[in-house]
Structure 1
Amino acid sequence: MSRVSIKTRDDLPEALRPLWDKMTTYGAFENQAGVMAHRLPIFKHMWSLLVDLAQDGNLSKRHLELALVTVSLLNKCDYCVSHHAPKLAVQGVSEEGAARLVDYKDHPELDELDKLVVEYSIAVTNNWNKTRDEIFARLGAHFSEAQIVELTWRIALCGAFNRFNDILQLEVEQGVPQSQAAE
């Protein structure tokens, strides 16, 4: 049970209700959004950012979801894994494959670029202060600087969401199956 009450769309000021509606197109994140709604600037800016990036992101959905699931596995965030592993399945990585992303080196469902995204996600999450220039040279061979910035931001932001969700004990919304990868 969440440590903070969960607000609903009806608890928001009228001006923010369209953002709630846009948020629901991103996924079933009503519990997270409902907790954020206790502080309207957090709700407004986080969800505006997320829906804008979903509409106008410069990363492939596959690479984004690989990064988000990897970070969430590393941080053991069941909430985020349960939400993002199904999105990764749509991108061609099975739920079993999602569960073992951190063992990416011999992962049969990942190509070399996928493996690089997972490796970078691990670096940003666990080794940000020890990451060598070599990985950026490899990233630069496949991604623009804008894509590297977005990928890095999304990985770091996911880590923040993992902590937010877990410390406040957000439950996965009804209708969102608990991911096997999260177990």
Structure 2
Amino acid sequence: MAHLRPLENHEVDQELREMFEHYEKTRGFCPNSVKTMARRPNISKTFGKLNQVVLYEGTVDEELKMLVALASSLASGCRYCQSHMANLSSIYKAPDEKIAAIWEFETSELFTDAERAAIKIGIKGGTLPNEASSEDFDELKKHFSESEIVEIVATVALFGYLNRWNDTMATELEELPTQVTERAVGHTGWTAGKHV
């Protein structure tokens, strides 16, 4: 059970209402994490801007960023973020088989060498203590420019924040990402844990 109730649209200012509505239009729901942060409006608003810049701007493919975020969330253990990133990976055209194979990314034929290098940074960067090595970055540099590497690491760092936020707050998982995750990876034994 969540430690704090997410705020409703009528409880926030116009800028946050517009942000909530944007999420509802693009994802089919507004994340409870953002609605809980809204008790301090500038935290929610600033997070929204950072999320936009990290995940939706730049030259790294959005599907890959979603898979990197999923890998980082798997490594950290945050079930809320795992579900959200399975959902967003699906929205950005990753097939269910690829989402389910994320732990086998090093051997699965579903992933390219470039994707493997980025996902490895996601997993190792999401692990505590951090396990990303110079060898991992050498491999990453074979496939991505320095600017693109910044995008990939920014994705991992953004989810470091979200994984801690949602696991600490026991943020309640919404229906849509739960359905997508159960469809894509339910057969692996995934459960929402404390996020129900």
- TM-score of the two chains, using structure 2 as the length reference: 0.80
Q: Does 1:23 align with 2:3?
A: no
Q: How does 1:30-109 map to 2 (within 5 A)?
A: 30-91=31-92, 93-109=94-110
Could you tell me whether the CA contact under 8 Å between 1:69 and 1:85 is conserved in 2?
Answer: yes
Give % identity: 23
> What is the Cα deviation at residue 64 of structure 1?
0.3
1:89-133 Cα deviation digits (max 9, x unpaired): 355544343234123221131111111111111221227755332
Q: Which residue is 1:151 aligned to?
A: 152
Match in the other structure for 2:119: 118
- Contact 1:19/1:48, CA 8 A, preserved across alignment: no
126-135 or 113-122: which moved more?
A: 126-135
Task: Please say if residues 77 and 162 of structure 1, whose CA atoms lie closer than 8 Å, have aligned partners that are also in contact.
Answer: yes
Query: Which one is further off, 9-18 or 104-113?
Result: 9-18
Q: CA deviation at 1:37?
A: 0.4
Q: Please state whether the residue corresponding to 1:106 is helix, strand or coil.
A: coil
Q: Partner letter of residue 59 of structure 1?
A: V
Q: Which whole-Å CA distance do the structure 1 matches of 2:129 and 2:60 have between them? A: 21
Q: Which residue is 2:181 aligned to?
A: 179
Q: Secondary structure of the residue that 1:65 maps to in structure 2?
A: helix
Q: CA deviation at 1:13?
A: 1.6
Residue of structure 1 in register with 2:139 after alignment: 138
Partners of 1:8 and 1:30 within 8 A in 2:
no
Deviations 1:40-72 (A, max 9, x none): 121010012223445423320121011011111
Counterpart position of 2:2:
2
Separation in 1, partners of 2:127, 2:176: 32
8 A contact 1:67–1:155 mirrored in 2:
yes
Q: Contact 2:21–2:30 at 8 Å: present in 1 too?
A: no
- Check whether the contact 1:104–1:115 (CA below 8 A) recurs between aligned residues: yes
Tell me, which stretches of 5 or more residues in structure 1 are unaligned?
none
Query: SS where residue 105 of structure 1 aligns?
Result: coil
> For the Cα contact (< 8 Å) 1:22–1:51, is it kept in 2?
no
Structure 1, 103-112 or 40-49: larger mean CA deviation: 103-112
TM-score, scaled to structure 1 = 0.85
How many residues are paired up? Answer: 183
* Higher mean C-alpha displacement, 167-176 vs 65-74: 167-176
Unmatched segments (≥5 aa) in structure 2: 192-196
